[in-house]
């Protein structure tokens, strides 16, 4: 499954050189994952109320180019389950098709007691 989420770079997203500060790419990717999750019919808050909590287990990122103030970016996300308890989100930040950042973010699913639980069946795409 592929999901695309648009992002515009604002002044608050940039460093002293006017480039996107590195940690903000993680925020953009988090927003895109939240929007992708909502396509399964429930918001992250709804999943939480039902006892499914999605936590970051691992992150790997590579920075290829810099994005800057005013850029229009697109976060491209691919989701797959690596086990019943873990989901892998392969994400790219692109500017007009040009690769800016690529990442692989692995999430685990926990229950109310903070124990591993299987991802809801809706995530098995």
Tell me: pLDDT of 76 over 80. Answer: yes
Is the CB of residue 104 less than 8 Å from the CB of residue 89? yes
Determine which one of 15, 46, 71, 111 is catalytic.
15
Is residue 32 within 8 Å of 5, Cβ to Cβ?
Answer: yes
Per-residue pLDDT at 109 exceeds 90:
yes
Q: What is the pTM of this model?
A: 0.93
pLDDT bucket at 1, cuts 50 / 70 / 90: confident
Residue range of the domain that includes 68 = 2-123
Average per-residue pLDDT for the chain: 96
Residue 97 phi/psi, 5° resolution?
85, -10
Mean pLDDT of 76-97: 97
User: Per-residue pLDDT for 125 more than 90?
Assistant: no
Looking at the structure of the chain, the number of domains it has is 1
Contact criterion met (CB below 8 Å) for 32 and 38: no
Of the pLDDT bands very low, low, confident and very high (cuts 50, 70, 90), residue 54 is very high
**pLDDT over 90 (residue 108):** yes
CATH number of the domain at 49, please.
Answer: 3.10.129.10
Q: Report phi then psi at 33, rounded to 5.
A: -65, -40
Task: Tell me whether residue 15 is one of the annotated catalytic residues.
Answer: yes
């Amino acid at each position: 499954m592929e999901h695309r989420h648009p992002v515009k770079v604002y002044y608050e997203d940039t460093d002293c050189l006017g480039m996107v500060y590195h940690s903000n790419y993680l925020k953009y990717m988090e927003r895109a994952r939240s929007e992708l999750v909502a396509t399964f019919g429930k918001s992250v808050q709804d999943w939480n109320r039902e006892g499914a909590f999605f936590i970051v287990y691992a992150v790997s990122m590579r920075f290829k180019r810099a994005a800057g103030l005013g850029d229009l970016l697109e976060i491209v996300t691919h989701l797959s389950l690596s086990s019943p308890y873990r989901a892998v989100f392969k994400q790219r930040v692109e500017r007009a098709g040009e690769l800016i950042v690529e990442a692989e973010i692995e999430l685990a699913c926990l229950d109310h007691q903070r124990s591993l639980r299987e991802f809801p069946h809706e995530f098995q795409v």
